[in-house]
Amino acid sequence: MAILGIFWLIELHSHLGKDLKVSIKKIKPIKLSELSKRQKLSFLVFPISIIYMELIFKFLTTPDFFNLGLLFAPLYSIVAGGVLSVICSCFSSKTGNTLAKIFLFVLALVFSTQIVYYWCFNKYLILYSIGVGGADQIIEQGIWEKTLQTIKACIIPVILIFAPAISGCFFISAKRGVTFTKICIKPRIFGFLGSVALHFLITLLVILIPISNEIYYQAFDPNLSAAYFGLLNTELQDIKYNILGSEHPSDIEIDASSDIPVSAEPTTPQTYGTWQMDIDFDSLIKNETNKEVLDLHKYFSERTPSEKNQYTGMFEGYNLIYITAEAFSHYAINRELTPTLYKMYNNGFKFNNFYTPIWGVSTSDGEYVNCTGLIPKSGVWSFYRSGEQKNNMCFTMGRQFLNSGVQKVYAYHPHTYTYYRRDVSHPNMGYIYKGMGNGLEGKIKNCWPESDYEMIAATADEYISSSERFHAYYMSVSGHMDYSFSDNSMSAKNKKLVENLPYSEVAKSYIACNIELDRAMELLLSKLEAAGVADKTLIVISADHYPYGLEDKNSEDEYHYFSELAGHKVDSNFEIYKNALIVYSPSMKKSIEVDKYCSSLDVLPTISNLLNFEYDSRLLMGKDILSSSSPLVVFSNRSFITERGMYSASERTFTDFKGNVIKDKEYISAYKTEVNNMFLASAKILETDYYGIIFGTRKTRIE
């Protein structure tokens, strides 16, 4: 994109440089009444073209096409079109027409890039990603091939998006078709002011409609913004809040009064105590002058801490191997094909209602949630930001183990070590971090995706000890899309094992590549047994996101591969995110089933409780699953699940688990407020290094 930008600038300078001066100084402007029909039609070019591109974009990337976006996206398109028309009317026909063509091509490039990126990664390309090198990731092995395949799949939509730009080359001309020309300054001023006024009126309408008001005034979310306000408005929001650093209107105040009933604890006597550290919030509030930090002090001081419970310290003193498994799912667990994963899932803690929501920066944000118990901030790479700012990551497992006296903790990734800037984020959690390029090269075969088995084989002996306690963290990769035997080396490697399954190639390929993770776990357990420490080691596996590579965007039912594996039609609102959480130790004599609704946000506090690590449950967004705290599963679009049912933010309806609509406004409102507060508080924790402020004098402070 940067190279294309340079080409555009060169083109603009070479063709327009001299003419711009002539246009501004020597070309005599004409009045509106003197405009020809072809000149008047030019004012429709941008509004119509942008509305056209927005509708195609919405159709291809928004699951819920028929929502208020059909109103707001076209209206905001008229505003953008009006501004571009005014700009082109400042110059002569030659310059104005050339600018119009360039603008149309730039717009088409923006829309088509986002369509391809969304189809490839199931998310939008945020500008922050370009700034930190995220766009360069698509040229890496495996990802580039997937990108090219996606471009091929999107060729017709891309052609449709470029239709206005291509048509403009032929029909925007001083001699034929429509033409731009320099008009008098007063109409230009009125045109610009009219666009501004229209923007104001549209925003006022957004505020007056409850659902759009909620989306507009909560923390910026590209998915929701694009669905309701269009791509161009979303790009402007992205620039405003995440590039220029402007305050979002929802960042004014955190309402701390909504913790009941959302985090309400039972009224029975507390037998075990609570996970609450000795923090003098009264003094902190009294002496704080920074409003953002003050908001957090007030919010956390009024939250209810989680109770300790019968499982507190169940694995105290144990070693921990924590794995964020790439695109892992319960669909990959099979008694015959993945026997080790099957054993770990069925013989450990078995969480029957565990969910893995997807976030804006899918894998990195999924890791961030698993490792921090916080919601990632939209529009940035939260994990990288935490490391870049050297935030205090005191509650992460790496820091907790170091604080407990373990001398070294390790983190590994079998792909490029700088991917998602893990070289910055993971050392900041205290880990000695290694990947391909800083320690694992030559030990893992260079293919796509790489082998998790080879990763364990190359690293386990470095930390497994029979005499010293240890902790290792892994970010796996073998389960990464694309799911085909021709493009996925792990699927190809295990192809023979799945050939007789009654599934499509895509579904079989997904199971095949996860066989490599199963083999990795088999090897890991054997090494632990050989060292005599298996019964003193806890293994936790949680996915970064659901396997969205199984989606088929070219099909009328894009989730039919999920339905194929599930054996029934999968609900795309909530069930699609249902997953497996593995919490297992060979020392466990029997499985422990848990029916409580929970998510990846809850994994960190749950592990902390099991290991009996000191933490303050009020300062995390997740809750210990095994505690008596009320369940709350939160999704990126502000949908949520409670003990009573499921709230769909897009439909603004709350239904119980049998599908009956619940109309308890007070109950729903309390949860909606708390969910919004969780997003805001998480973002503020990240940006202010809140833990550094609270625990600045503690050993957890990062120098």
For 536-565, how does the pLDDT look when each residue is reduced to its tens digit (9 = 90+)? 999 999 999 999 999 998 888 999 999 999
Q: For residue 541, list its beta bridge partners.
A: 323, 582
Inform me whether the pLDDT recorded for 130 exceeds 90: no
DSSP letter assigned to residue 139: G
As a whole number of angstroms, the distance between CA 488 and CA 494 comes to 10
The reported pLDDT for the residue numbered 441 is: 95
For 132-164, how does the pLDDT look when each residue is reduced to its tens digit (9 = 90+)? 665 556 555 556 666 777 788 789 999 999 999
In three-state secondary structure terms, 428 is: helix
As a whole number of angstroms, the distance between CA 201 and CA 224 comes to 21
Q: What are phi and psi of 278, to 5 degrees?
A: -80, 85
In three-state secondary structure terms, 648 is: strand
Contact between 348 and 591 (Cβ < 8 Å):
yes
For 382-427, how does the pLDDT look when each residue is reduced to its tens digit (9 = 90+)? 999 999 999 999 999 999 999 999 999 999 999 999 999 999 999 9
Inform me whether the pLDDT recorded for 260 exceeds 90: no
As a whole number of angstroms, the distance between CA 664 and CA 681 comes to 26
Taking residues 39-51, what's their average pLDDT?
93
Pick from 122-136, 144-158, 662-676, 686-700: least confident: 122-136
Taking residues 186-200, what's their average pLDDT?
91
Let me know how many helices (H) and strands (E) the chain has, helices first.
27, 16
Across 59-63, 113-117, 234-238, 450-454, the highest mean pLDDT is recorded for 450-454
Pairwise pLDDT comparison (490 vs 183), residue with the higher score: 490
Q: What are phi and psi of 660, to 5 degrees?
A: -80, 135
Taking residues 593-611, what's their average pLDDT?
98
Residue 202, C-beta contacts closer than 8 angstroms, at least 6 positions apart: 72, 75, 76, 79
As a whole number of angstroms, the distance between CA 147 and CA 554 comes to 15
Is the peptide bond prior to 586 cis by the omega test (within 30 degrees of 0)? no
The reported pLDDT for the residue numbered 679 is: 92
For 573-594, how does the pLDDT look when each residue is reduced to its tens digit (9 = 90+)? 999 999 999 999 999 989 999 9
Q: Is pTM beyond 0.85 here?
A: yes
pLDDT bracket for residue 165 (50, 70, 90): very high
Burial of 280 (0-12, 13-18, 19+ CB in 10 A): exposed
Pick from 26-40, 256-270, 689-703: least confident: 256-270
Side-chain half-sphere CA neighbours of 248 within 13 A:
26
DSSP letter assigned to residue 356: -
pLDDT bracket for residue 701 (50, 70, 90): very low
The reported pLDDT for the residue numbered 143 is: 62
Q: For residue 475, list its beta bridge partners.
A: 324
- Helix/strand/coil (H/E/C) assignment for every residue in 91-105: CCHHHHHHHHHHHHH
As a whole number of angstroms, the distance between CA 72 and CA 213 comes to 12
Burial of 334 (0-12, 13-18, 19+ CB in 10 A): middle
Amino acid identity at 37? K
Amino acid identity at 662? I
Contact between 226 and 638 (Cβ < 8 Å):
no
For 349-378, how does the pLDDT look when each residue is reduced to its tens digit (9 = 90+)? 999 999 999 998 889 999 999 999 999 998
**Alpha-helical runs (H) found in 389-451:** 397-403, 422-428
CA angle 217, 223, 224 (to 5 degrees): 35
Parallel, antiparallel, or unpaired: how do β-strands 592-594 and 582-584 relate? unpaired
As a whole number of angstroms, the distance between CA 672 and CA 649 comes to 9
DSSP letter assigned to residue 239: I
